[in-house]
Structure 1
Amino acid sequence: MDTQNSNVNATAKTLLNHAKTLRLHTGNLVNRSRLKKKCPSSPSEELQDCIRATLSDWFSTTRLPSETDLPDTLDCSIPQPTDAITPEEREELKVSVKLFLCESDQSSIRDAVEMACQTLAVSQLDSVIIAPPGLLEGDSQTLTHLQPAWEELEALVRSQRIAAIGTSDLDKDLLEQLYNWAQVKPSSNQVNLASCCVMPPDLTAFAKEFDIQLLTHNDPKELMSAATFQEAVQESTQDLNVADWRLQWVLRYSIIVKSRGIIKAKGYHVSARKAIP
């Protein structure tokens, strides 16, 4: 191992051993020059590449502070042209977010939304679609399972941090239950066409009646497993034990030029925490 790699590894080991929280921002992926794989085969592979590249770059440019100044939270991002939206261009742009929750901690929703707003320099996200934590084998999603996260989203709508909120992979019955219960109604529902090549007629009819937009996606049920996340971190920091790190949430944002329908910017925010023994 050369001196530079040795220094990077020592810095990474010291910082990660001390830290309790890891926050990572990939920056704009529309410029993909930093990624090894130009066209990832799946959203999971794309995210893994992003984590690896961002951590490697960050640790190679980060100077180790004194031991008394070691941070509890690592904010890992690479200096580059900012994704911040200027007030002059805000009306022309739509900011869409999908939030993948890996834990049942509702405070994560507010943290993720605030981080996205701060990064993009906006006071409000145009739409947020929620993907709740995965269920145990054999369990099925219920309204009770969805309610805590939805109530947190509703609070963010009332405080004008989010304009519209949506769901992912709900069938007609569960979407109807959520719609009837919710104070802020879902504006959209994503359907994974890998498991459903044609929109179910009952879902289509219900969505049309209540003005809910049906969207398609190709995200897996689990965007990134704990093992895959740990592998991505470990590949960026050789010989480091990362078994006690857990993903909290992943937020993917897209900035779309309304008049042209093109993506101006796209990126990820990732939050992980160290499990307390």
Structure 2
Amino acid sequence: MTKIILSTGNIVSGGPSIIRKPGTFRSNLELTNSLRSNFLAAQEDYAAESAHSNGAVNGNGSANVIEVDAETGGRPPASVWTAHKDGVLYVPAIDWDAHGLQEEPAHYDVTAKLFFLPGAAVSQRSQFAKEALAHVLRELRAPAVDLLIVSFPGMSFEGDCEWEADRINAGQGNDADEIATWPAIEELHRAGLAKKLGLAEFGSEKLSKFLQKVQVRPVVNQVNLKNCCNVPPPLAQLAKEQGIELLVHSDCTDILPKGTLRDLLGQRQGGAGLLADFETGTGGLRGDLTPQWVVKYTAVVRDRGVIENKGYFAGAELADE
């Protein structure tokens, strides 16, 4: 088994983004496009750095292009731009010393949204949550996040109207798995790593049952109303009675499908060339690839209302053949 951690780095470019500015992409496209861009940048940057360190310079004093791996379509070999440490393969390699917030953490509102992905073991969600949050805190050099939102697989708000969406939502997900997972999230809160907790895509019936079973109650419920104009009235009423803030988001619930991840890391055009060709079995790592979790993080400068740092980490497992 090989554990893989993928990262986008800070995807805020050209200066901080105003929060009020609407997003151009839903988060699945934002995630995949950002990962692809970061892989390409790392291949170019680490290859150039390696060429310099090996003294590969031409007569003009500039670095020659590092030798490429013919089996990976002319890309630099994975050993140049990825890093393997303590049994984890980082894609790309991360220079942690170059990361961090520009000001003291107290000046920011930091939100992390953790997506548990379908197909990953429910019994490992405690470890997934610890891994995901640890990477965010290390990336930002922050002691805690202000809000940790949890998104469970198989949840959405879809229907012809808000009443229908709320009714359909009641039968989605897995109540037992969601409640069994929550103590691991509560543990992060009690450890001081997540000041407040939240949920995503919980309708009135699911939220009501959930609140009766947990010790640390969520203070936020995030819903995607792409197919509905309004929050379902039963949900709005329940949230008001229980003191839960309702937030609207535009994240994709199926944020990193298995096939998408294999394409990102594979040999096809636009892929990173890390995995072996699916048909021939040549050119890279072999095995069954399972996405396990994704965490999206945002650091907002509190007194200026701008996003300074935003990005994603994703965890996956490659089962050796």
Structure 1 length normalisation: TM-score?
0.80
Distance 1:207 1:269 in 2: 30
Residues 153 and 253, structure 2, Cα contact 8 Å, conserved in 1: no
Shift of 1:257: 1.4
Q: How many residues align?
A: 249
Distance 1:239 1:182 in 2: 41
Tell me if 1:219 matches 2:246. Answer: no
| Aligned residue among 246, 251, 260 for 2:290 | 246
Deviations 1:168-190 (A, max 9, x none): 10011111111122110011001
1:15 corresponds in structure 2 to: none
Distance 2:228 2:245 in 1: 17
Shift of 1:240: 3.1
Tell me if 1:174 matches 2:194. Answer: no
Residues 254 and 265, structure 1, Cα contact 8 Å, conserved in 2: yes
Please identify the structure whose Cα radius of gyration is greater: 2
Distance 2:141 2:2 in 1: 27
Change (3 A) 1:262 1:219: same
1:120 corresponds in structure 2 to: 140
Change (3 A) 1:192 1:116: same
Report matched runs for 1:1-277 at 5 Å.
20-31=2-13, 41-60=25-44, 61=46, 72-75=87-90, 76-77=92-93, 82-85=98-101, 89-102=104-117, 103=120, 104=122, 105-106=124-125, 107-134=127-154, 140-234=172-266, 235-237=271-273, 240-241=276-277, 244-277=288-321
Shift of 1:59: 3.5
Residues 96 and 138, structure 2, Cα contact 8 Å, conserved in 1: no
Change (3 A) 1:70 1:81: closer
Residues 4 and 317, structure 2, Cα contact 8 Å, conserved in 1: yes
Distance 2:115 2:223 in 1: 15
Residues 250 and 268, structure 1, Cα contact 8 Å, conserved in 2: yes
Distance 2:274 2:24 in 1: 23
Deviations 1:18-63 (A, max 9, x none): x812212211111179xxxxx8532111111122122223334166
Change (3 A) 1:241 1:260: same
Distance 1:259 1:211 in 2: 25
Residues 100 and 250, structure 1, Cα contact 8 Å, conserved in 2: yes
Structure 2 length normalisation: TM-score?
0.70
Residues 245 and 273, structure 1, Cα contact 8 Å, conserved in 2: yes
Change (3 A) 1:211 1:83: farther
Q: Secondary structure at the match of 1:222?
A: coil
Shift of 1:109: 0.6
Q: Secondary structure at the match of 1:56?
A: helix
Distance 2:173 2:6 in 1: 29
> RMSD between aligned alpha carbons?
2.8
Shift of 1:206: 1.1
Distance 1:58 1:82 in 2: 14
Give unmatched runs, 5+ long, in structure 2.
Answer: 16-22, 51-76, 156-168, 279-286
Percent identity over paired residues = 26
Shift of 1:74: 1.8
Change (3 A) 1:132 1:184: same
Q: Which amino acid aligns with 2:300?
A: I
Residues 6 and 315, structure 2, Cα contact 8 Å, conserved in 1: yes
Shift of 1:197: 1.9
